[in-house]
Amino acid sequence: MIADNIKRINEQIANAALKVHRRREDIKLVAVSKRFPVSQIIEAYAAGQIIFGENYIQEMQTKKEQAPTSAIFHFIGHLQSNKAKIAAATCDMIETVDRLKLGTALNNHLQALNKTMDVLIQVNIGNDVKKSGVKSSEAEELLIRLNDLPRIRVCGLMTMPPFVDDPELSRPYFQKLRLLSEKLSRKGLFPAVEKPQLSMGMSSDFHIAIEEGATIVRVGTAIFGER
Ligand SMILES: *Cc1c(COP(=O)(O)O)cnc(C)c1O
């Protein structure tokens, strides 16, 4: 069942890319496995899925120990600075850096581990009081500060728009995130990458996010089922 879902999502990603003349290989699928047992990750991995998304750091740590060693884990939840040590040791990418304090804590732990980490800046593109993420108006300042931290590579932006019933209503938020990344990119503020990554779109609206430029989509329910 998981294998069928992954196949179907990959076809839908390819179709969305084709529609707007983008290359399929420029879009990564993150299978959001939060609250599902590691057995489901193993099943998805056997079906060809490599990248997994988790939103609790301890849960990610446990699963990473039990998952195939070449499975890749993106952290997509709210990260407290006091969890930065585990995150620095465990994650392959952190998509949710939204404040300097967290960046600094990560940088210090990465330094001690003698490694670097790819991160995204989470932007609260809808100025939604219930969502974390830096305000759009403060993203540039945060990016400049994070660029000074030698162990952190800022690879792009991530967002979770306000919840809406009609996926079309997410489109303006996806457009806003893309315009923001283009603006920052023109200013040369993503020196670590050739082109910034855009992580946006979930089960209900990833096809629209791809039309608007997503390079990473985070899909949970449509792969693993209801949580
Ligand atoms: C849970 C979650 C997802 C996946 O949502 P689905 O609607 O189940 O696809 C994507 N991104 C983040 C940040 C999440 O927490």
- Each residue of 143-202: pLDDT tens digit? 999 999 999 999 999 999 999 999 999 999 999 999 999 999 999 999 999 999 999 999
The pLDDT value recorded for residue 131 is 86
CB 142 within 8 A of CB 121: yes
Residue with tokens 């949710």, as numbered in its chain: 96
- CA proximity to 159, closest of 216, 89, 100: 216
Residue nearest to atom 7 of ligand 1 (CA): 203
> Which helix (H) or strand (E) is 74 found in, with range?
strand 72-75
- The 3-state DSSP class for residue 216 equals strand
* Residue-wise pLDDT tens digits, 69-127: 999 999 999 999 999 999 999 999 999 999 999 999 999 999 999 999 999 999 999 99
CB 212 within 8 A of CB 125: no
Whether the CB of 34 sits within 6 Å of ligand 1: yes
- 202 CA: nearest ligand 1 atom: 9
pLDDT-derived band at 128, boundaries 50, 70, 90: confident
Q: Measured in angstroms, how far is the CA atom of residue 114 from the centroid of ligand 1?
A: 31
> Pairing between strand 152-159 and 197-199?
parallel
Whether the CB of 83 sits within 6 Å of ligand 1: no
* Residue-wise pLDDT tens digits, 188-205: 999 999 999 999 999 999
The pLDDT value recorded for residue 201 is 98
The C-alpha atoms of residue 124 and residue 180 are separated, in whole angstroms, by 12
Q: pLDDT over 70 for what percent of the chain?
A: 100
Structural tokens at position 166: 């009609």
Whether the CB of 120 sits within 6 Å of ligand 1: no
To 10 degrees, what angle do helices 136-146 and 100-113 make?
Answer: 30
- 204 CA: nearest ligand 1 atom: 7
The pLDDT value recorded for residue 167 is 96
Q: Measured in angstroms, how far is the CA atom of residue 40 from the centroid of ligand 1?
A: 16
**Residue 10: pLDDT above 90?**
yes
- CA proximity to 137, closest of 125, 150, 129, 151: 125
Residue with tokens 């040369």, as numbered in its chain: 188
Residue nearest to atom 11 of ligand 1 (CA): 218
Whether the CB of 219 sits within 6 Å of ligand 1: yes
Q: Measured in angstroms, how far is the CA atom of residue 33 from the centroid of ligand 1?
A: 9
CB 159 within 8 A of CB 133: yes
